[in-house]
Amino acid sequence: MAQGMIEIDLDLCKDCRLCMSVCPQRLIEPSDRLNQKGYRFAQFIDRSAKKEGKKCTGCALCAIVCPEIAIEVYRG
Ligand code: SF4
Ligand code: SF4
């Protein structure tokens, strides 16, 4: 299966949580911290090192739905 990773620009995030709702691997969660605008920004959970079975496939669904264009997807 293809592997990927994402980067989220935390200061663009407005905590709408659309990315979390569409990720088939459930790899995006709200942070415990706030960004400069006071939102609990989305964060990518990289489980690839822990062998928990859920890995980013680079499907880009998260980036497509993000209204703030805060997510970059990398495939490798
Ligand atoms: S690219 Fe796909 S698998 Fe990876 S974090 Fe985004 S929605 Fe999830
Ligand atoms: S879809 Fe974009 S703005 Fe919404 S929570 Fe995810 S990263 Fe933040």
Q: Distance, CA 26 to ligand 1 centroid (Å)?
A: 8
Specify the pTM: 0.92
The per-residue pLDDT for range 30-64, each reduced to its tens digit, is: 999 999 999 999 999 987 656 667 899 999 999 99
Q: Which domains does the chain have, with CATH numbers?
A: 4-75 (3.30.70.20)
Please tell me the residue having the least CA distance from ligand 2 atom 3: 13
Burial (Cβ within 10 Å: 0-12, 13-18, ≥19) of residue 36: exposed
Please tell me the residue having the least CA distance from ligand 1 atom 4: 56
- In which element (H, E) is residue 40 found? strand 40-44
Q: Distance, CA 21 to ligand 1 centroid (Å)?
A: 11
Mean pLDDT score across all residues of the chain: 93
**Are 72 and 52 spatial neighbours (Cβ–Cβ below 8 Å)?**
no
